[in-house]
Structure 1
Amino acid sequence: MRRMYRHYRKLQDETTPYEFDAFVVYSSNDTTLVKDTLVQFLEKDNDFKLCLHQRDFRAGENIVDNIIDAICKSREVVIVITQEYLDSQWGKFEIDMSRMQLHQRNKNMLILIMLEDIPYQRMPDSLKHIWQVIICLEIDENLFQLNIIDQNSMFGKRLFESLKT
């Protein structure tokens, strides 16, 4: 009997409690846009609980541990994509850790918000390998420049629905 259940592992179901609805990662150059626009729409207007590194990371703890912990404690990972983010070492690390979690959970939990028009050919291989299983949203540049995301915009509806499920 013991041999029969030796490799048994209970599967996580959708009732797994997460501390955060989403961990939002982005380039430091996009901090103002994310805090003023994305946080306003998701947290204040729609009651999602976000994990943001400058607010929710534990002081004095290794940044790598903070990133991994934030990904594990979040139901979704939202990555705000710009070329600068893709070129950064932390961006590559966050994408790799998110990919690993995506495979461990065996569910789509990665949402990309494209702030720049970056051709697929210029995407890192780590994203190309999972391109078919992630949610990719392109934001209307005018909305982001005006710090407006709302339920009436197509982007707002898609982002809300992606996080709600």
Structure 2
Amino acid sequence: MHSNDKISIQSQDFDFNCEYQRLRKNNSTDGAVVTFIGLVRDFNQKGHVTGLFLEHYPAMTEKSLSNILIKARQKWSLGRITIIHRVGQLNPNEQIVMVGVTSQHRQSAFQASEYIMDFLKTQAPFWKKETSENGDNWVEAKQSDTDKADSW
């Protein structure tokens, strides 16, 4: 892992502006900063969602995220990378994930950001349980997400 990289698995919310500034601070070599913020939706194919609970195994999850980051660095010339993923109880419209990538050029930053998200959705060991008016159910990976990750 690069010394300016950040991986955080946390229950508390994060401050996007603070994280964006960390990617930029003392970084005059990179001309591109790409960020993605994922939010908890209030719906899915089964109806209205009132909450989401995420579980994980800490050592396993951190290793998985680190491996995703390393693979992204092998594919593109990147500056800094930030991956923040929240766990615990989350409500609709709360921030759940942030990916930030810097690079000298925008194409690498865009592609690496998308790559990281595709693999977070399919390879990172998070278990999501949705709460709805119809009860709780565990969320499985979508075939479309798996197909997208396989395309890399």
TM-score (norm 1): 0.26
TM-score normalised to the size of structure 2? 0.27
Structure index of larger Rg: 1
* Structure (1 or 2) with the greater helix fraction: 1
Structure with more of its chain in strand, by fraction: 2
The structure showing larger relative contact order (alpha-carbon pairs under 8 Å, at least 6 residues apart) is 2
